[in-house]
A and B are shown apart, each in its own frame.
Chain A
Amino acid sequence: MNLQELKNNRKILTEYSYEKKDLYRGYTDKTLYINISNNEVKVKDVSDRMKEKFIGGKGYGMRYLWDAVTPETRWDSEENEIIVAVGPVGGITQYPGSGKSLVCTISPMTDIPIDSNVGGYFGPYLKFSGFDALEIQGKAERDVVIIIDGKEKTVRIEEAPLEAVDGHILGEQLTNMYGNSESEKRLVSVITAGTAAEHTRIGILNFTFYDLRRKTARMKQAGRGGIGTVFRNKKIKAVVVIAEEVKGNLNNAFDQGIINETGIKLHREMAHLDHLQNNMRKIGTANIIEVMDAYDLLPVHNFQYGSHPDTKKIESKVFIRDYCTQNMPDGCWYGCSVACSKAADNFELKTGPYKGHKVVVDGPEYENAAGVGANCGIFDPHAVLELNFYCDTYGIDTISYGTLTAFAMECYERGIINKEITGGLDLRFGNADASLALIHQMAKGEGFGLIAGQGVHRMKKHFVENYGADAAFLEDIGAEQKGLEYSQYMSKESLAQQGGYGLTNKGPQHDEAWLIFMDMINNQIPTFENKAEALHYFPMFRTWFGLLGLCKLPWNDIVPANNSETEEPAKIQEHVDNYHKLYYGITGTKIDSAEMIRQSERVYNFQRIFNIRMGKGLRKNDKTPYRTMGPVTKEEYLSRESNYEKQMIELGFDLTGKTVEEKIALLRKHRESQYEQLTDAVYKRRGWTMNGVPTPEKLKDLGMDLPELLEVIKPYL
């Protein structure tokens, strides 16, 4: 369809002109509010108090969301919002990984706030167009596109009946519509979802960035928690931002020199050390597929096993050799020399509505290959990339898709569901055709795809209620907590990582703490107190990236040459010091590590109380399924029998005469009690009650004893 035809069918619902506020020390102090129920558009001031307590990014997202909703609000309520916010450092071009947007909403998976950190150009362009954050509330009657034009200083809401819905088509259509030349296209960024976001709860948002060399709009994903489902439920097809220009000093920093200097230092490290370390520039995050397999940490067959002989078929060098294009500038924001956003060009699709099309596939990233690949027993690199492509363009989360498909496959293999229930899909582990058929069903909103697309939490209930499945067994094997699917690491043998998944705010995503090696292999955090310290420090430290608009990868996927000689190599203190410098360079305020952690703690505790307000966020919600803690079945136990027996003997258990079932039960009792003890230690370290509730003293100490927070926690004290 040509662009003129799309345009001719547009109907302008509202047009709003604004005066652009230039950035000052990383902030515009303005938020753009759009209500698509009544087409209201307004610019809100950001107060000093908001800035001081919430910093930006996810902090702003959480605050606005709190103010918008009530405890009764659900994901599809009209008042639910989608907030896209950047932080004060977001949009600088001198330091790698500084272009992230944070997106928050009430999740259709968990019914609590979700936050997702995403690349692409949208966030910085929003800032350069005059806004630190964008709040979208309400529901449109018919499909709309929102256009924030930073050149013209206008905001328009337009009915857009003919535009595509799938991400890769719509991203391209709108980039071409609003960018008349290659250089103009580069100033356009689009948020889209996809057709499967309309029929599942696992919808994502795609954020585009125009790739000049490939001449195409590529996409990064706000993946977790179903934000795309909310987006399509609001009948938003896309949000477009058009920036006036990109320059290195648009943030109007307090001291640009410090930022430049700090950036150059990290660029040098990348140039000299990346090829000796993680090879991010060449491979991206897929570099760890084979590492995880070698250490028995790659999820295989729904998290039953940690490695597989066929992993070599999907290891990173296969993708590099056969699919990914090298020597391309693969940064998802200007100046990112880590450049991990690899892509496969001219990838010919074998199935689905785009069969025969040659497309650019962004990826694979580790999570994709592990989730849609190994965890489902699929070791076919073409199928992995094809599933990766369709997840993105259909607008669904590869992580949830991988975990829920693996769960359905295990249920199928165990006879809990059968072909009659799956509508003929032969969901055996390893059946790539069945997985592809499932994903196409999700996009069409039909068949078993509709059931699976609800996620593991709801599938469990459905199988129990309709097919008489054993509820306790499904609770054990379904890798979800708080309604969100686990991401793709095996936590069975690392108690700290069980906490890294379980004791999180949004659900089991590893972006708070990834401690498997520190704990299981290095044995650096042997006591409960050590683990609790790590489960305090790392989640708080990593929350900070989300407040500032930063990517986590340049922190620890490259390290200074002398890092191993430092006191605590895992913290990568030199890079932490870089962040203090960036914060100072932008805002003019000096911070140290302690203040950095406090900034995060304010927002982290706010989010915890937000969860309580929405009906979760207590100790009972932090329990984890046993599949992620130890062997549920005999086969799992036997696959690591000698390790388990050695462990139990060291713990003083007498195993003589015990059956395998009895040994499994003994181990389970021990591990569950360890998790409880860990929970106690972590809550104590975080300043929470043993029910997981932040105490008034803790809030006071953080300067967060806000009346609305105290009111929520009162009944639990």
Chain B
Amino acid sequence: MLLNNRIFDHYRENMTIGDVIEVMRFTYPRLVVKVNGRLIQKSEYNSTILNENDDVKIHHLLAGG
């Protein structure tokens, strides 16, 4: 699985977006999540199961300072 165009080392079967966010400690609330280009709403994070070949983007919309 790719996470933000990098190979995701922590992939395991039946992993959800919610799990990825937890593993990566992405605690920032304003995330833009896409799986294979499809936008995933926050309410779907825990029900969206990821496959090994998925291209996942979790972008933090933090333009800071």
Report A's interface with B, CB cutoff 8 A.
276-278, 288, 290-291, 294-295, 366-367, 487, 489, 510-511, 514, 516-518, 521-524, 526, 556, 559, 563-565, 569-570, 572
B23 CB–A CB distance under 8 Å: no
B27 CB–A CB distance under 8 Å: yes
Count of B residues near A, CB < 8 Å? 19
- A291 lies within 8 A of B27 (CB): yes
Q: A291-B28, A522-B4, A523-B4 are in contact. Are A564 and B64 (CB under 8 A)?
A: no
Q: A523-B5, A526-B5 are in contact. Are A570 and B28 (CB under 8 A)?
A: no
- A265: shortest Cβ distance to chain B, in Å? 19
Q: A277-B30, A564-B39 are in contact. Are A366 and B63 (CB under 8 A)?
A: no
**What A residues does B32 contact at CB under 8 A?**
564, 569
Q: Which of A288, A291, A487 has the most CB of B within 10 A?
A: A291
- B4 lies within 8 A of A517 (CB): no
Q: Which of B15-65 contact A (CB under 8 A)?
A: 25, 27-30, 32, 39, 57-65
- B23: shortest Cβ distance to chain A, in Å? 13
Alpha-carbon gap, A367 to B25, bound state (A): 23
From A288, A526, A564, B61 is in contact (CB under 8 Å) with A564
A-B contact pairs, 20 of them (CB 8 A): A278-B30, A288-B62, A290-B27, A291-B62, A294-B25, A366-B65, A367-B65, A489-B65, A510-B65, A511-B65, A514-B63, A514-B65, A517-B60, A518-B63, A521-B4, A522-B58, A563-B61, A564-B39, A565-B39, A570-B63
- A556 lies within 8 A of B63 (CB): yes
B10 CB–A CB distance under 8 Å: no
**What B residues does A276 contact at CB under 8 A?**
29
- B25 lies within 8 A of A559 (CB): no
- B64 lies within 8 A of A514 (CB): yes
- A569 lies within 8 A of B61 (CB): yes
Main secondary structure of the interface of A (DSSP, over half): helix
Q: A517-B62, A569-B59, A569-B61 are in contact. Are A277 and B5 (CB under 8 A)?
A: no
Alpha-carbon gap, A366 to B61, bound state (A): 18
Given A521-B60, A522-B60, A569-B32, 20 further pairs, Cβ under 8 A: A278-B30, A288-B62, A290-B27, A294-B25, A294-B28, A367-B65, A487-B65, A489-B65, A511-B65, A514-B63, A517-B62, A517-B64, A522-B4, A522-B59, A523-B5, A524-B4, A559-B61, A564-B61, A569-B59, A570-B61
- B28: shortest Cβ distance to chain A, in Å? 5
Alpha-carbon gap, A277 to B58, bound state (A): 16
**What B residues does A514 contact at CB under 8 A?**
63-65
**What B residues does A569 contact at CB under 8 A?**
32, 59, 61
